[in-house]
């Protein structure tokens, strides 16, 4: 075998396990991001509540999840939770740990978005006699979410890469697939390159999607659709009230 075999690289790239691994990576990232957005939005809204214990809980959450490594949270969910009778499959553990962790960062992003909506907008809505929770739902959040679309896009791209850590708990995502393929014939160069190319393909794809969403947001008429999809968590928001 030569030092580098393009044929083997191509074979890996198009092989079932690699495609499957890439799809698992994509799925974990997407689901974790969605969970992160929901958690982040709830935390950010909870921070606006004029009731101290609620705000303290949010601070505690941020302190815990931002103060410990994601890898620790991941391994914790996988190895410690079963001791309490909570046995989750690897995929669920991965999504839980990554999503809750992401929620802490997403909270800060959402909060900056909510803050960017001027106090005059709230005052105007209050003067109309709109209830506080409806002001949040119909006046503040729609504007805040548009502001946070670019940073959310960045978080997603970072999530695609962070999801590689999930390999340590045995979930068959892209990196673990590559590692296992290589350990059978020691062709690390080809296997890891194939995984790298898949990662690049996914991140490039999503940079494109992000670019398109941002452009659509700048054109007024088109703003509805991306905004609505991001508003989806507000159903939970109402339930939480």
Partner 1 sequence: MSPLLEARGIWKRFGAEDVLKGVDLSVAPRECLVLLGPSGSGKSTLLRCLNLLEPISSGSIRFKGEEIAQARRKSAVQIRRQIGMVFQNFELFQHLTAEDNVALAPMRVNGETPQRARELARQLLCKVHLPDKAGAYPDELSGGQQQRVAIARALAMQPSLILYDEPTSALDPETVGEVLRVMQELAEEGMTSIVVTHEMNFARRAASQVVFIDDGQIAHRATATEFFSGCVPDRVARFLGKIAA
Does 225 sit near partner 1 (CB under 8 A)? no
Does 124 sit near partner 1 (CB under 8 A)? yes
Does 146 sit near partner 1 (CB under 8 A)? yes
Among 5, 48, 112, 143, interactor with partner 1 by CB under 8 A: 143
Among 128, 184, 218, 239, interactor with partner 1 by CB under 8 A: 128
Does 231 sit near partner 1 (CB under 8 A)? no
Category of 170 on φ-ψ map: left (φ > 0), alpha (ψ -120 to 50) or beta: left
Does 136 sit near partner 1 (CB under 8 A)? no
Q: How many residues bind partner 1 (CB under 8 A)?
A: 21
Among 68, 134, 185, 225, interactor with partner 1 by CB under 8 A: 134
Does 139 sit near partner 1 (CB under 8 A)? yes
- How many CB atoms neighbour CB 138 within 10 A? 12
Does 123 sit near partner 1 (CB under 8 A)? yes
Helix, strand, coil shares of the chain, percent, nearest 5, are 85, 0, 15
Name the residue with tokens 């505690």: 60
Q: What does the radius of gyration of the chain's CA atoms come to, in whole angstroms?
A: 21
DSSP class of 82: G
> Is residue 210 exposed (0-12), middle (13-18) or buried (19+ Cβ within 10 Å)?
middle
Sign of CA dihedral 137, 143, 148, 149: positive
Least distance (Å) between residue 120 CB and partner 1:
4
Binders of partner 1 among residues 159 to 198 (CB under 8 A) are: none
CA pair distance 131, 126, nearest whole angstrom:
7
DSSP class of 209: H
Which span sits near partner 1 by CB under 8 A: 17-25, 64-72, 84-92, 130-138? Answer: 130-138
Among 17, 142, 150, 151, interactor with partner 1 by CB under 8 A: 142
Among 138, 185, 211, 229, interactor with partner 1 by CB under 8 A: 138
CA 214 to chain centre: 18
Among 66, 126, 215, 241, interactor with partner 1 by CB under 8 A: 126
Binders of partner 1 among residues 103 to 122 (CB under 8 A) are: 118, 120-121
CB-based contact 11:182 (threshold 8 Å) = no
What are the structure tokens assigned to 138, written together? 């119909």
Under the rule (CB under 8 A), what is the footprint of partner 1?
A: 118, 120-121, 123-131, 134, 138-139, 142-143, 146, 220, 223, 227
């Amino acid at each position: 075998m030569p030092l580098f075999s393009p044929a083997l690289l191509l074979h890996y790239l198009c092989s079932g396990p690699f495609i499957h691994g890439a799809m698992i990576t994509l799925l974990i990232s997407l689901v974790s991001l969605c969970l992160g957005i929901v958690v982040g939005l709830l935390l950010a809204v909870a921070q606006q509540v004029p009731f101290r214990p609620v705000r303290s809980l949010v601070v505690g959450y941020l302190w815990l999840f931002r103060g410990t490594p994601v890898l620790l949270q991941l391994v914790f969910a996988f190895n410690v939770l079963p001791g309490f009778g909570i046995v989750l499959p690897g995929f669920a553990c991965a999504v839980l740990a990554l999503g809750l962790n992401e929620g802490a960062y997403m909270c800060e992003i959402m909060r900056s978005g909510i803050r960017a909506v001027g106090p005059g907008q709230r005052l105007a809505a209050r003067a109309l006699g709109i209830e506080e929770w409806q002001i949040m739902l119909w006046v503040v959040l729609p504007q805040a979410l548009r502001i946070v679309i670019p940073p959310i896009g960045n978080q997603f791209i970072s999530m695609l890469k962070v999801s590689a850590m999930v390999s340590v708990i045995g979930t068959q995502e892209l990196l673990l697939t590559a590692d296992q393929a290589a350990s059978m014939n020691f062709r690390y160069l080809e296997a890891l390159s194939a995984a790298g190319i898949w990662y690049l393909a996914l991140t490039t794809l999503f940079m494109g999607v992000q670019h398109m969403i941002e452009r659509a947001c700048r054109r007024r008429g088109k703003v509805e659709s991306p905004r609505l999809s991001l508003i989806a968590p507000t159903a939970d928001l109402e339930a939480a009230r």
